[in-house]
Amino acid sequence: MEKNKDTLGLHTFMQDRKTLFCYSGPLTEDLLTTISNPVRHQLSDDETKETVAKRVFGVFIEQAQNIIRYSTQKTKSTGDSIGTIAISVADDGFMIEAVNKIDESKKDVLEATLVELSVADQKALRQMYKQRLRDGPPEDSEGAGLGFIEMARRVKHFEFNFVESGDGALFVYRGWVS
């Protein structure tokens, strides 16, 4: 009976917060390939402008690849990265959110980067993106080091925080697109 309540609670919770898509668990590039089309389909109703849908999709891809590359919580058998990613309908657009465990020692650098990005205007972000492209990726980046700048350019605004959780910190990111 208790479990039944949980299941119903999960359904009601997701419906009430207008979550269109949510995945929580091991995330791989193969899985990302598989879910890309359904996610895009969810965003492509007649009322959503194509440019908005593309921005949401862009932020979604960057967040998913951040989880795949940087989550420090891994499955025991295959070492796949674990995290949560979701897209919900927000007041005048969409909210994209992601949670994953990160290396505690990377927290300060990440925090400083995101604070810098959160106060930069579009013009400054564009300049930072170009500069990063010319300079090449930072040493500990597995991508081009551009992901968070790209996301900041596509969202209207974003929030983030770090939550202590035993053997590391949980990184929480929320971005709004409209």
Partner 1 sequence: MKFEKTQRTPLVELGSNSCLIKGECYPENIAEWSGPVLEALKKTLGDANAAFNVDIELYYFNSSSAKFLFDFFEFLEESSEEGKKIKINWRYRAEDDTMLEAGEDFQEDITACEFNLVIVEYANEDQAQE
Point out which residues bind partner 1 (CB under 8 A): 29-30, 32-33, 36-37, 50-51, 54-55, 57-58, 61-62, 65, 126, 129-130, 133-134, 136-137, 143-144, 146-147, 149-150, 154
**Which CB, 74 or 130, lies closer to partner 1?**
130
Q: Report in angstroms how near the CB of residue 94 gets to partner 1 at its nearest.
A: 16
Q: Report in angstroms how near the CB of residue 100 gets to partner 1 at its nearest.
A: 17
DSSP output for the chain: -HHHHHHHHHHHHHHHTTEEEEEEEEE-HHHHHHHHHHHHHHH-STTS-HHHHHHHHHHHHHHHHHHHHH---B-TTT--EEEEEEEEEETTEEEEEEEEEE-GGGHHHHHHHHHHHHH--HHHHHHHHHHHHHH---TT-SS-S-HHHHHHHHSSEEEEEEEE-SSSEEEEEEEEE-
**Which CB, 9 or 138, lies closer to partner 1?**
138
**Which CB, 12 or 34, lies closer to partner 1?**
34
Q: Report in angstroms how near the CB of residue 132 gets to partner 1 at its nearest.
A: 9
Q: Report in angstroms how near the CB of residue 150 gets to partner 1 at its nearest.
A: 4
